[in-house]
Amino acid sequence: MLKLDPAKLSSVQMANAMAMGDPRMNAKQYDRGGLSRGKAQWNQAGIDSAQKMADGIAEAYYAQLQDQQARSQANLQAQQQQEQYAQNLGALQQQNNYANQMAALQRQGAFMNLLGGLLG
């Protein structure tokens, strides 16, 4: 199970999320020419700011989760390749043992034929 560590979050992403939480940044979109900002615009800007900040923090955690998932996937792939290498190495060792045993049997058979020819 992947654990998210707030200390490992991207400081840039967190700073951007906190900056999005500033109502002054979000109040400008409600400005109308010739009218001053009222409490309704500030209230809506505060709501927008809270939503954008929450979304920004969620994106920072999601980015950390994606990084951890990519590292986990890379580790899994490396382990699979290591296992495949070990399997291939084991197969080569088996083939080598088999070839050595066959060679020993051939030498023994040749020796028996030689003895049979001499004694027979």
Query: Which pLDDT does position 24 carry in this prediction?
Result: 87
Q: Examine residue 113 and state whether it is found in any structural domain, yes or no.
A: no
Query: Which pLDDT does position 102 carry in this prediction?
Result: 96
Query: What is the DSSP annotation of 62-111?
Result: HHHHHHHHHHHHHHHHHHHHHHHHHHHHHHHHHHHHHHHHHHHHHHHHHH
Q: Examine residue 107 and state whether it is found in any structural domain, yes or no.
A: no
Query: Which pLDDT does position 14 carry in this prediction?
Result: 84
Q: Examine residue 94 and state whether it is found in any structural domain, yes or no.
A: no
Question: Is-contact 73 37, C-beta < 8 A?
Answer: no
DSSP for residue 9: S
- Along the 120 residues of the chain, how does pLDDT read in single tens digits? 556 666 667 788 888 888 888 888 888 888 777 777 788 889 999 999 999 999 999 998 888 888 889 999 999 999 999 999 999 999 999 999 999 999 999 999 888 888 777 776
Structural domain span for residue 83: 9-88
